[in-house]
Structure 1
Amino acid sequence: MERKVPFGLAIIPLFVMVVAMAVTIVKFEGDPHIPLIIGTVVAGLVAWFAGFKWNFIEEGIYKGIKMALPAILIIITVGMIIGSWIGGGIVATMVYYGLKIMSPSMFLVSISVITALITLAIGSSWSTMGTIGVAGMGIGMSMGIPAPMVAGAIISGSCFGDKMSPLSDTTNLAAGITGTDLFAHIRHMIYTTIPAFVIALGVYWYLGRDFSNAGVDNQEILEIMNVIQSNFIVSPWLLLVPAAVILLVAFKVPALPALIVGVFMGWIAQFTVQGGAIADAVNTLQNGFTLETGNASVDELFSRGGIQDMMYTVSLALIAMAFAGVMEQTGMLQSIVEKILKLARTARSLVVSTIATSFLTNVAAGEQYLSVLLPGRMYKKAYEDKGLHSKNLSRAIEDGGTVTSPLVPWNTCAVFIISALSVHPFEYAPYAVLNFTVPILSIIFALFGFKLEFVKKEDYKTEAERKAS
C-alpha cells in the first residue's frame, strides 16, 4: 500500500505557505518566492517527520520542476517574442492601428471578444495573451484605460476561448482524464461558461462608459501615435507576423515552435524593416528593447521583453513546482482531497467539492494541469458510485481549476501573465470577471441540481469496453 502523509500533517505546509504569502505580499509588499520556499522547506520537514527519506522527497522536487519545464520554455520564448516584436515594429503597428479604429468606450468589450475568438481558433490562451494581449495592453493604456482593467478583459476572453476550444490542451486533458467525449464535455461547459462570459462583457461595457471619447484626451492619443510613427516604421504588412503565428497554431502546430517562428520573423523585421543593426536585434532577444522618447507612457510600453525580463517568472515557476512536487510525491495533496471527499455525501455536494478541490490544488500546487489531473483522477470513482455522468466531473474540474489558475499569484498561469502583461494578479483579479464568475455559477447550478446529469452504472462499463476495444 502506498504511503502518504496523514491529513493533520499534510495541511501544515499549505497553511504555513498561505500565511507566509499573506504576510509577505500584503504587509511587506514583497514577492511570493520566499513564502513558497518556506512552504517547500516545511513540506520537506513534515515529509521527513512522517518517515519519508530525503532521496524520495528530492525526487518529488525534481518531478515537480520537470512538470514546469514546458511552461518555462514558453515563458522564455514569450520574452523573446515580446522583445523581437517591439524591436521589429510589430507591436507598434498593432497599437497604432488599434488606436485608430477602436472606440475607447467599447475597447474592453472588443479586446475580450477578439482574444476569445482567437483563442477559440488556436486553443492556446498563453499564445494569445503573449502576442495579441501585449498589443491590447498598449492600445488600452494609450487610451487612458487602467492596465488592470485591460488585463482583466484580455484574460477573461483568452480563458473563455481556451476553455471552449477543442484544440485546447486543458480541455482535452479534462475530457481524457475523466473518460468523457470531448464534444460532450464542451457542450456541457456551455451552461456555465457562456453566461459567465456574457456577464463579463456586460461589466466591461459598464466600465467602458467612463472612457468614452468625451472623457479621453484625444490630443494625448494623437501624440502617442506621432511618437510611434517617429520611432518605428508602421506598416500593415507587419501584421502578417502575428497572423502567421495564429495560423500555425490553428493548423495544430504546437505552441512552442509556432512562437519560435514569431520570434524569428520579429527579429528579421528589426534589422530589415526598422533598419536596426543585427547585433542590436540579437541583444533585444536577450535583454529586451529599450526606447527613450521623452514620452513616459510610450517608453514604458516599448521598453521591455527579452529572456532576462522573464527570469523573475522562471524562478517563481521553479520554486512553485518544487513545493508542488513535494506535496504530490508524499501524498499530502491526496490526503487533503480525500478529507474533502468524506464531506461529499450527495451528488450535489460532490460537484461542489470537486470545484473547491480544483481551486485548492491551484493554490497548493501552483499548476493548472495538476488542478485538472488530480481531482479528475481521484473523484472519478465517486462520480461513478453516485451514477453521475462523467461530463459533470470534467466540467467541474475545468470550472474550478482551468479558469481560476490566473487568480493565484504563484500559479504558473498567473506567473506567465505577470510576465506577458506586466500586471499583478492582485490588481487584475477584480476585472478578470469570467474567471471568478464561472466557478460561482457552477457551484450555484450544482446546489440547485441544474444540468446535473445521471447515467446508469452499466453505461460506465459500456464506455470502458468501448475504449478498450
Structure 2
Amino acid sequence: MEEKKTAVEKKEISLLWALTPLLVMVAVMIVTIVYLEQGPHIPLIIGTAVAALVAWKHGFKWNDIEEMMYKGIKLALPAVVIIILVGLIIGAWIGGGVIATMIYFGLKIITPAFFLVTICVICMIVSLAIGSSWSTMGTVGVAGMGIGLSMGIPAPIIAGAVISGAYFGDKMSPLSDTTNLAAGLTGTGLFVHIKHMLYTTVPGIIIALTVYGILGTKYKASNLDQGSIQDTILMLEKSFVISPWLLLIPVALIALVVMKVPAVPALVVGFILGTLAQVFVQGGSLAEAIGALQSGYVIESGNAMVDDLFNRGGLDSMMYTVSMTLVAMTFGGILEFSGMLQSIMNQILKLAKSAGTLVASTIVACFTTNATCSEQYISIVVPARMFSTAYTKMGLHSKNLSRALEDGGTLTSVFIPWNTCGVFILGTLGVGAFEYAPYAVLNYVVPLLSIGYAMTGFTIQKLTQADIAEINKREASLES
C-alpha cells in the first residue's frame, strides 16, 4: 500500500493540464450561477470529472483517483460534523427561545446607528474567547442577523460585519485551530505568531469598524420604521417566553470552549440545553423539540419578518451545505493528491525573487488553494509545506510565513462560494459569498496590508544568527 502511494505522488502534471479542471469548473460555475441562477454543486461535479480525466490521462488508474476523492472527503469530515451540530444548535436555540431572547434584548438595547459596529465587536469578543469563527457565526451571528434585519439593515451588510468580527477572533485567539496550525507547521512559537499578526490584523479591524460606523449612519432611528421594530418585539413576546436566564445557555457554551472542552462535545451540550429549554421553558412537547432538531423550528406568527427569521435550523437545513462540502472536497482531493495543485504552486513559487514577492506569492497560493481545494485548512497546510524552505533560504523568520498563511488562507476562504467556509456562511447566515464580499472588510483589507508591508519591508523580520544556529541544530538532529 505504501509503495502504491509513493508511485502516485511521483507522477507529474504540466501547468496547462493542471489548470484545465479549474478553468472548466470556474467557467461552468459562472454560467450556472450568474445566468442559470442555480447552485454550485453541478459545476463542482463537472470540475471533478474533468480533474479525474486529466489524472487518468497522466497514468493514474481509477483506484488511485477514487482514493484521492476519499482522502479529500476525509479532510472535510471534521468540518461536516461541526456543520451538522451547528444546524442542531440553531434549531434547538430557536425552539428554546434563546435566539428570540438575544434578538429581543438586542432590539431593546442596541441603536441602529451603532448596530454594525456593536455586532462586529461582540463577534470579535466571542470568537476571541472560543477560538471559532463558525461557532460564533452559528450562534451570536444568527441572532445578529435577526436584530439587524428587524432594524431594516440589508442582510449582506450585517453578514459582512459578523464575518469580520468572527474571523478577527478566529485569527487572533490562542484557542483557534487555524492559529495553532499555522504556528505549528512553520515551527513558530504560538504567541510569537499571534504578536506578529497584530501588525496586519489590528489596522485591518480598525478600518473595518470605521467602515461599519460610516455605513451605520444610514440607519439612524429617524430613518427607520420604529413601529415595525415594536411590532417585532411584541410578536417575540407573544411567540416565546423571553427570559434573561436563557442567555446562560450561550454563556455556558462559551465557557466550555474557554475551558478547552473540544468543539464537538461543547456544541452537543449547547443543543441539548436548547432542547431542554424548548420543553421546560417554552412548554413545547418532546416531539416538537426533536422535530426542531431534525427539520428546524416552525412558527406561524402572522408576522412575515418573524416567520422568516425563525422558520429555520435543524439537521435537514444543513444537508445542502454538507453535500456541497463533500462534492467540493472530491474536486480538491484529486487536485491535491494527483499533483495538479503542486504544479500550480511551483509556478507561483518561481515568481518569488524577493521578500515582498515571496510573501505576495504565499498569499496568492493560499487563495488559490482555497479556490481549488475548497478547504481552509488545506490553504494553510499546502503552502506551509511548499514555502518553508524558501523563507529560510531568503533569511526570513518563520513568523513571516505563519502570518502570511493566516492573512492569505484563513481570511480569504470566505470569498469562495464553494469553499467550506463560504458554504457554511450561506447555510448559517443565509447570505452568499458574492453578496457579503464587499462588506467583509477585514477579510480583504488584511491580505492587502500584508502584501503592502512585504513590498516595503515593514515588519518583515529577518533571521538572526541565533535563529540560524537553532535551525541548523534542528536539521542536524533530524538527519542523525
TM-score normalised according to structure 1 size: 0.98
Residue 3 of structure 1 corresponds to which residue in structure 2?
11
Residue 25 of structure 1 corresponds to which residue in structure 2?
33
Question: Structure 1 residue 21: deviation in Å?
Answer: 1.1
Amino acid at match of 1:406: V
Match 1:115 to one of 110, 114, 123? 123
Match 1:453 to one of 458, 461, 476? 461
Residue 447 of structure 2 corresponds to which residue in structure 1?
439
Structure 1 position 373 matched with structure 2 position 381: yes
Between the aligned partners of 1:460 and 1:428, the Cα distance in structure 2 is 44
Between the aligned partners of 1:272 and 1:112, the Cα distance in structure 2 is 33
Contact persistence 2:116–2:216 (CA under 8 A): yes
Match 1:246 to one of 220, 241, 254? 254
Secondary structure of the 2:229 match is helix
In the TM superposition, what whole-angstrom CA distance separates every residue of 1:314-358 from its partner, at most 9, and x where no partner exists? 000000000010001101111100111111111211111001000
Structure 1 position 429 matched with structure 2 position 440: no
Aligned-residue sequence identity (percent) comes to: 59
Amino acid at match of 2:280: T
Structure 1 position 57 matched with structure 2 position 91: no
In the TM superposition, what whole-angstrom CA distance separates every residue of 1:256-278 from its partner, at most 9, and x where no partner exists? 11111010000011111001111
Q: How does 1:44-123 map onto structure 2 within 5 Å?
A: 44-123=52-131
Question: Structure 1 residue 29: deviation in Å?
Answer: 1.5
Contact persistence 2:380–2:410 (CA under 8 A): yes
Residue 15 of structure 1 corresponds to which residue in structure 2?
23
Contact persistence 1:384–1:457 (CA under 8 A): no
Between the aligned partners of 1:465 and 1:233, the Cα distance in structure 2 is 64
Question: Structure 1 residue 67: deviation in Å?
Answer: 0.7
Structure 1 position 382 matched with structure 2 position 390: yes
Unaligned runs of 5+ in 2: 1-6
Between the aligned partners of 1:396 and 1:345, the Cα distance in structure 2 is 16
Between the aligned partners of 1:347 and 1:235, the Cα distance in structure 2 is 56
Question: Structure 1 residue 459: deviation in Å?
Answer: 2.2
Match 1:408 to one of 400, 416, 425? 416
Question: Structure 1 residue 22: deviation in Å?
Answer: 1.3
Question: Structure 1 residue 420: deviation in Å?
Answer: 1.1
Between the aligned partners of 2:116 and 2:140, the Cα distance in structure 1 is 14
Structure 1 position 213 matched with structure 2 position 203: no
Residue 138 of structure 2 corresponds to which residue in structure 1?
130
Contact persistence 1:5–1:50 (CA under 8 A): yes
Amino acid at match of 1:420: T
Contact persistence 1:89–1:232 (CA under 8 A): yes
Amino acid at match of 1:160: F
Match 1:310 to one of 310, 318, 324? 318
Between the aligned partners of 1:372 and 1:355, the Cα distance in structure 2 is 10
Between the aligned partners of 1:392 and 1:113, the Cα distance in structure 2 is 27
Residue 153 of structure 1 corresponds to which residue in structure 2?
161
Question: Structure 1 residue 416: deviation in Å?
Answer: 0.9
Question: Structure 1 residue 27: deviation in Å?
Answer: 1.6
Secondary structure of the 2:12 match is coil
Alpha carbons of structure 1 residues 457 and 320: separation in structure 2 relative to 1, 3 Å: farther
Question: Structure 1 residue 306: deviation in Å?
Answer: 0.5
Between the aligned partners of 1:301 and 1:457, the Cα distance in structure 2 is 59
In the TM superposition, what whole-angstrom CA distance separates every residue of 1:9-68 from its partner, at most 9, and x where no partner exists? 111111111111111111212111011111100000000001111111110100000111
Question: Structure 1 residue 458: deviation in Å?
Answer: 6.5
Amino acid at match of 1:407: F
Unaligned runs of 5+ in 1: none
Q: How does 1:126-275 map onto structure 2 within 5 Å?
A: 126-275=134-283
Contact persistence 2:355–2:455 (CA under 8 A): no
Match 1:392 to one of 376, 389, 400? 400
Residue 4 of structure 2 corresponds to which residue in structure 1?
none
Between the aligned partners of 2:119 and 2:473, the Cα distance in structure 1 is 45
Between the aligned partners of 2:270 and 2:457, the Cα distance in structure 1 is 46
Question: Structure 1 residue 6: deviation in Å?
Answer: 2.1
Residue 329 of structure 1 corresponds to which residue in structure 2?
337
Amino acid at match of 1:99: L
Secondary structure of the 1:100 match is helix
Between the aligned partners of 2:468 and 2:64, the Cα distance in structure 1 is 36
Question: Structure 1 residue 456: deviation in Å?
Answer: 4.2
Residue 280 of structure 1 corresponds to which residue in structure 2?
288
In the TM superposition, what whole-angstrom CA distance separates every residue of 1:195-246 from its partner, at most 9, and x where no partner exists? 1100000000000001111111111111000000001000001001000000
Between the aligned partners of 2:335 and 2:464, the Cα distance in structure 1 is 36
Structure 1 position 37 matched with structure 2 position 45: yes
Between the aligned partners of 1:280 and 1:131, the Cα distance in structure 2 is 21
Question: Structure 1 residue 463: deviation in Å?
Answer: 4.2
Between the aligned partners of 1:463 and 1:176, the Cα distance in structure 2 is 15
In the TM superposition, what whole-angstrom CA distance separates every residue of 1:418-459 from its partner, at most 9, and x where no partner exists? 111111111111110001111111111111111111114772
Question: Structure 1 residue 461: deviation in Å?
Answer: 4.5
Secondary structure of the 2:350 match is helix
Between the aligned partners of 2:465 and 2:380, the Cα distance in structure 1 is 24
Between the aligned partners of 1:267 and 1:465, the Cα distance in structure 2 is 55
Alpha carbons of structure 1 residues 256 and 277: separation in structure 2 relative to 1, 3 Å: same
Between the aligned partners of 1:205 and 1:158, the Cα distance in structure 2 is 17
Secondary structure of the 1:114 match is helix
Question: Structure 1 residue 465: deviation in Å?
Answer: 3.8
Between the aligned partners of 1:464 and 1:168, the Cα distance in structure 2 is 30
Between the aligned partners of 1:185 and 1:20, the Cα distance in structure 2 is 39
Secondary structure of the 2:59 match is coil
Contact persistence 1:445–1:451 (CA under 8 A): yes
Question: Structure 1 residue 4: deviation in Å?
Answer: 2.7
Between the aligned partners of 1:273 and 1:461, the Cα distance in structure 2 is 63
Amino acid at match of 1:311: M
Contact persistence 2:91–2:293 (CA under 8 A): yes
Contact persistence 1:387–1:457 (CA under 8 A): no
Secondary structure of the 2:307 match is helix
